[in-house]
Structure 1
Amino acid sequence: MNILNNLIIKDYCKLMIDIKSFIHNKFIKSLQSYKNILDSTCLIVAVSGGQDSMCLIKLLKDYKKLYKWNIKIINFNHNWRQDSYLNSKAINNISLRWGFQFIYFTKYIQNETAARKWRYNKLVQLAKDLDINYILTAHTATDKIETSIYNFIRGSGFEGITSLNYYQKINTKINIIRPLVYTTRDETIWFCRKFYMPIWSDITNYSYNIKRNRIRQELIPYISKYFNNKFNKNFTHFLNIINKEVEYLQNKSNYFYNISKHKKHTAINRILIGKLPLVLQRRIIRIFIYKKTKNKLNLMKTDYIIDKYTATFHKEYYRTEIDRNWFLVKRLNWIYLVNKIN
Structure 2
Amino acid sequence: MHATPLYQQVKSVITPYVTEHKTAFTVALSGGVDSVVLLHVMNALKAEIPQLQLTAAYVNHGLSQYADDWQAFCKKLCDALAITFYAAQVKITNKSRTSLEELARDARYQALDQHSPSGSIILLGQHLNDQLETFLLRLKRGSGLQGLTSMRQIRTLNSGRECLRPLLNTTRHSIEQFATEFKLEHITDDSNTDERFDRNFIRQQIVPLLSERFTGFEKSAARSVNLLQQQQDVLDEYTQLDLSQCQNTQQGLSCIQLANFSAARQANVLRCWLGQFTALMPSQQQTQQILTQGLTAKADAQLLIQLTDGQVRRHQNFLYFVRETTVPDSQSLTAQNQLLSDGRTLIQLSGIGVRKPLPDEHVSVQFNCPQARIKPLKKPGHNSIKHWFKDAKVAPWLRANVPLIFYNEQLVYVVGHFISAEHVSEKGVFWEVKT
Q: Same fold (TM over 0.5)?
A: yes
Structure 1 residues 209 and 108: alpha-carbon distance in aligned structure 2, compared to 1, 3 A threshold: farther
Q: Given the alignment of the two structures, is residue 256 of structure 1 paired with residue 256 of structure 2, yes or no?
A: no
- Give the number of the structure with larger relative contact order, counting CA–CA contacts within 8 Å between residues 6 or more apart: 1
Q: Contact 1:45/1:135 (CA < 8 Å) preserved in 2?
A: yes
1:147-183 per-position Cα deviation (integer Å, ceiling 9, x unaligned): 1101211222222221311012224721221110011
Q: Given the alignment of the two structures, is residue 168 of structure 1 paired with residue 152 of structure 2, yes or no?
A: no
Rounded to whole Å, the distance in 2 between the matches of 1:266 and 1:45 is 37
Displacement of 1:61: 0.5
* RMSD (CA atoms): 2.7
Q: Which residue of 2 aligns with 1:70?
A: 53
Figure out how many residues of one structure are paired with residues of the other and give that number: 318
Displacement of 1:57: 0.5
Q: Which residue of 2 aligns with 1:230?
A: 216
Structure 1 residues 278 and 60: alpha-carbon distance in aligned structure 2, compared to 1, 3 A threshold: farther
Q: Contact 1:44/1:132 (CA < 8 Å) preserved in 2?
A: no
Q: Given the alignment of the two structures, is residue 336 of structure 1 paired with residue 325 of structure 2, yes or no?
A: no
Rounded to whole Å, the distance in 2 between the matches of 1:118 and 1:233 is 30
Rounded to whole Å, the distance in 2 between the matches of 1:331 and 1:58 is 56
Q: Which residue of 1 aligns with 2:104?
A: 115
**What SS is found at the alignment partner of 1:197?**
coil
Structure 1: unaligned runs, 5 residues or longer: 1-16
Instruction: Please report the TM-score for the alignment, with normalisation by the length of structure 1.
Output: 0.83
Rounded to whole Å, the distance in 1 between the matches of 2:115 and 2:183 is 31
- Structure 2 counterpart of 1:254, one-letter code: Q
Rounded to whole Å, the distance in 1 between the matches of 2:198 and 2:308 is 32
Aligned-pair identity (%)? 21
Rounded to whole Å, the distance in 1 between the matches of 2:121 and 2:287 is 31
Displacement of 1:249: 0.9
Rounded to whole Å, the distance in 2 between the matches of 1:23 and 1:232 is 17
Q: Which residue of 2 aligns with 1:307?
A: 292
Q: Which residue of 1 aligns with 2:180?
A: 193
Displacement of 1:22: 1.3
Equivalent residue for 1:134, pick from 104, 115, 121: 121
Rounded to whole Å, the distance in 2 between the matches of 1:153 and 1:99 is 44
Rounded to whole Å, the distance in 1 between the matches of 2:309 and 2:174 is 48
Structure 1 residues 58 and 325: alpha-carbon distance in aligned structure 2, compared to 1, 3 A threshold: closer
Displacement of 1:137: 0.5
- Structure 1 counterpart of 2:88, one-letter code: F
1:10-61 per-position Cα deviation (integer Å, ceiling 9, x unaligned): xxxxxxx8x43111111111234x5368622422221111111111111110
Q: Which residue of 2 aligns with 1:45?
A: 27
1:169-228 per-position Cα deviation (integer Å, ceiling 9, x unaligned): 2247212211100111011111112222112111111111221110000011223334x2
Q: Which residue of 2 aligns with 1:11?
A: none
- Structure 1 counterpart of 2:9, one-letter code: K
Q: Which residue of 2 aligns with 1:4?
A: none
1:264-294 per-position Cα deviation (integer Å, ceiling 9, x unaligned): x221222222333444333322232232355
Q: Given the alignment of the two structures, is residue 96 of structure 1 paired with residue 76 of structure 2, yes or no?
A: no
**What SS is found at the alignment partner of 1:208?**
coil
Return the index of the structure with the highest Cα Rg. Answer: 2
Structure 1 residues 40 and 285: alpha-carbon distance in aligned structure 2, compared to 1, 3 A threshold: same
Q: Contact 1:70/1:100 (CA < 8 Å) preserved in 2?
A: no
Structure 1 residues 260 and 63: alpha-carbon distance in aligned structure 2, compared to 1, 3 A threshold: same
Rounded to whole Å, the distance in 2 between the matches of 1:152 and 1:47 is 29
Q: Contact 1:309/1:318 (CA < 8 Å) preserved in 2?
A: no
Instruction: Please report the TM-score for the alignment, with normalisation by the length of structure 2.
Output: 0.66
More helix by share: 1
Q: Which residue of 2 aligns with 1:280?
A: 265
Structure 1 residues 240 and 304: alpha-carbon distance in aligned structure 2, compared to 1, 3 A threshold: same
Equivalent residue for 2:39, pick from 28, 39, 57: 57
